[in-house]
Chains A and B, each alone.
Chain A
Amino acid sequence: MAVRRPVALAVAVLLGVSATGCVAAPPPEPPAPEQTAMEQLDLAAPAAESVLRRSREITVRIRALGCQALGIGSGFVLPGGVVVTNRHVVDQPRQVTLNTWDGRSLDASVDGLAVDSDLAVLTLGDDAGLPVAELAPETPQPGTPVIAVGYPGGGPATVSTGTVVGITDADVLGESAGVIVVDAEIRQGNSGGPLLDEQGRVVGVVFALDTASGHGLAVPVSTLLDRLDADAFAEPSGAC
């Protein structure tokens, strides 16, 4: 047994040197690292600017020649060349022309007037690839930031921001459903213009101004969706 001890010792030394004293060869080249996705970019400001720019692009200026006068209002374009505005903007239409933000003039015809809401739908003869609005699935809650776009006074497009003050259930100007009350600046000419959320989706259609409180009033998008789904629009009589 004593003789095997040096042998074991030598083997151990040999193994130890081999196992611990050696440096391994370089490993194979690892594959090239993949490009990592950009993360945590602060895109809030560009996104907001994009929403504002987009909101101007989907909003059109409406010139409606009625029986007695020339009316100016606002509206917005939906897919399929459909334009939504207020009934009182295009009531008794003889000639309706849309002006886009970039200066195009497009003829439109009044397809229908809502009976129990201040809504109307027009059809463009040629939508010419106009940017279209996206409708929000539901009406915003009080406190929700909103954007009102329109052509007040028949002048250039304006964008005003505010929040939803409340949703009133009272009968306001003959509206059958609730009305959105906002503190965004609304003036004559904003009628028919879109009320948008922060994502640029339409949450309402501006139709009036409460002169007592200074708050703007808008038909909720749910009312618009109901009327569009039910095709609850009457054809204009055309009579003056």
Chain B
Amino acid sequence: MSVPPGQDDPYPTEPFEPAEPAPVLEPAQVHDPARTHPASRRPGGRGPLVAVLVLALLVGAVGVGVGWQQRQVAAEWRDRTEVRTGERDEALGRAEALQRQLDEVADALSTSEGDVATLTERITALADEKAQAEDSATTVQVQRDAVLDLSQQVASSVSALEECTTRLFDLQRDTVGAFNRATAGEQVDVSPLNGRLEDTTAFCNDARSAAARAAAAARALPQ
């Protein structure tokens, strides 16, 4: 608070000294610059004090309002904290549950992988055995076909050789007959005999070749 010049401060800041009581002023002697110097009165009179008071009240009211609002805010933060805490606990619980499930699935997967590897190995082994068996079957089939072909060749060559023998015997018999007739003085034409001889010789050569081929095929058969 400001004090007009020349007047003692009514609210001294120094400690009160009871040994020297302050001089009592008579009301008439009280220096009132407002009355003695009206021209020097500050503008507004009590207005500023009222304004300050109003403002102080306003500040106080605002403070009360702000305080109430801050309590609401604090309550909201507490609510948010509780929600977050609940969410955190729930998330932690879910994470723990998921971790347990993950461990179980990992164990199951590991087991399954082992099973798959074992089964794959078994499939591969069985597939290999099957392929080998098919190889053998194919080889046996090839051999069977070869033997069958050989047997047909042999049978054919044997038939041809038998036919050759038959033709040779027939030719021999007819030749002997022709010789006997010629010896008896009969005129004999040997041309047909010569023709049959050539045919029989060719036939028998073919039969011998077929027999040779069959023999070669038999030798070529795998043992």
Contacts and interface: CB of A to CB of B under 8 A. Distances in A.
Interface in A149-190: 151, 154-157
Main secondary structure of the interface of B (DSSP, over half): helix
A26 B43 CA distance: 47
B123 interface: yes
Q: Is the interface on chain A under 10, 10 to 19, 20 to 34, or 35 or more residues?
A: 35 or more
A23 interface: yes
A157 B124 contact: yes
A17 B124 contact: no
Interface residues of B, number: 37
B187 to A, nearest CB: 57
A102 B77 contact: no
Contacts of A21: 66
B128 A70 contact: no
A129 interface: no
A22 B69 CA distance: 9
Given A14-B62, A105-B130, A70 B80 contact: no
Interface stretch (B133-141, B151-159, B170-178): B133-141
Interface in A119-161: 151, 154-157
Contacts of A31: none
Contacts of A48: none
A236 B66 CA distance: 99
B59 A14 contact: yes
Contact of B52 (A10, A14, A56, A72): A10
Given A7-B55, A14-B62, A17-B63, A154 B135 contact: yes
A102 B127 contact: yes
Contacts of A65: 138, 142
Contacts of A61: 131
A103 B62 contact: no
Interface of B: 42-44, 47-48, 51-52, 55-56, 58-59, 62-63, 66, 69-70, 72-74, 76-77, 80, 120, 123-128, 130-132, 134-135, 138-139, 142
Interface of A: 2-3, 6-7, 10-11, 13-14, 17-18, 21-26, 53, 56, 61, 63, 65, 70, 72, 95, 97, 99-103, 105, 151, 154-157
